[in-house]
Structure 1
């Protein structure tokens, strides 16, 4: 087994990871960010860029200061908020609570210019609830497009059962967010969102579609569930109020985690320059899932 790389063994271990793809810098990963407790401090990718250099992530926007580029954020792990901001309480609505947790970087298991694997502790008040192994890789697709491959393996670190919830499971219909989440920047007009079979925020929000695309004039993101469990999770989508796409772990029911229980999810996102139509997005999705056929 590869030995973890720690700060003591590697002076560069505390530096942010810069991801490169096709000879270009495409993302920066902040694994030890300095954030307020209310924002549920956690590692994130920002800025993420197209191969042409266009930024496709937003950090701490005024509308939701706890939105942090690309990462893992869960609003309810047995009552602990790993999302940031207020907590939705049944019968009370969004409520300020002293219940924020944080994700703490433990060690690098692999670190290279095109990707990394790290171990993280999800903690609250010094108590570890979850241990995560996170793997992120960047790979080229063609001259105008690359893919960010994001895999998370969450393990219940307690000797008691835990569960993952969302505002929806706590009484707010349609707000099943929590899990992998990507916050793009706001543009001059809302981006288009579509799947293979549906178009528009209302139609695709809550859909367990194999892939989903969000497109602006400057960039297109094609999100693909890369395994059966991830494809089963509905997509959480915002476009009109702000752009955001997430893969929901607890859309309408809590996700149980027995002691030692593990949840694995993998989302691969194609990052393309310019606006892609449905046919082009579908071809990329097929390529990412290995379902591409040749004539």
Structure 2
């Protein structure tokens, strides 16, 4: 699925993520650049690519199920009063160029294309920084500009009639393990309490898997997601743990997000990637450091 143009992110000289710019994927998966594998500093993988439960989940990236009816998420499209429906409406995010490319990050230009026309232009900025000997931060900013001559809007299955399914925006598909990961915020815990709420940060903590020959191995891990701008903090969290482990921020939770011609929507998510299972105090302290440094 990779091409020769797949830069590797490094923290203190250690590889922590591979960014695939031109994946070879079928149209139904809404081809788009993604980060996978992403690892902790100790080498534990904390992303998953095209798992059997959702083939269109591609590591870490930006995915939107409804841009004026075009599917940039992959899979089926949710239709009000009809449910998930198979359509030939999939768009693709196409890498154009890197404006900046260093071992610890890059600035990239992308074009969002559907039905033979470009609907959005994106500027994506990604940076990896060391926090401690056991934690680093992924700083991910995306800016979507409507380059068409008319207004467009971003929607989700929730805005199209499916309660609780306001996915679309930054999305991190974590590795599925034998045990369901824990999820918590500064004031709540558990998928039912956390999903759809607004919080300064949200932590997903996995148990890891035993080391054995011939199998992927790794220790326990924690991901702490934080909205690093006022606009991003207004977006509720989309969370899954029981069905699969995934976290994202919802661009269109209660209503569609309009983008007039020439306007730009900007979101910035900073994710702490840590070895071990962090408590609330540790998660909060590392998040403050990651967002402000």
Which TM-score band applies after superposition, normalised by the shorter structure?
A: over 0.9
Matches within 5 A, 1:1-295: 15-217=5-207, 218-290=220-292
The alpha carbon displacement at 1:279 in A equals: 1.4
| Contact 1:224/1:288, CA 8 A, preserved across alignment | no
Say what the alpha-carbon RMSD is for the aligned residues.
1.1
Distance in structure 2 (CA, Å) of the matches to 1:194 and 1:111: 34
The alpha carbon displacement at 1:274 in A equals: 1.0
Q: What does the per-residue CA deviation read over 1:197-224, in whole Å, with 9 as the maximum and x for residues that have no partner?
A: 0000010100111100000121100001
| Contact 1:14/1:32, CA 8 A, preserved across alignment | no
2:210 is matched with: none
Q: What does the per-residue CA deviation read over 1:121-166, in whole Å, with 9 as the maximum and x for residues that have no partner?
A: 0001220000000000000000000000000000001000000000
- Normalization by structure 1: what TM-score? 0.93
SS in 2 for 1:230: helix
The count of aligned residue pairs is 279
> Which portions of structure 1, spanning 4 or more consecutive aligned residues, are displaced by more than 4 angstroms?
none
- Stretches of structure 2 that go unaligned for 5 or more consecutive residues are 208-219
Q: What does the per-residue CA deviation read over 1:166-212, in whole Å, with 9 as the maximum and x for residues that have no partner?
A: 00000000100000000001111110000000000010100111100
SS in 1 for 2:267: strand
SS in 2 for 1:97: coil
The alpha carbon displacement at 1:288 in A equals: 2.5
Distance in structure 2 (CA, Å) of the matches to 1:109 and 1:287: 27
- Normalization by structure 2: what TM-score? 0.94
Distance in structure 1 (CA, Å) of the matches to 2:225 and 2:84: 29
| Contact 1:32/1:43, CA 8 A, preserved across alignment | yes
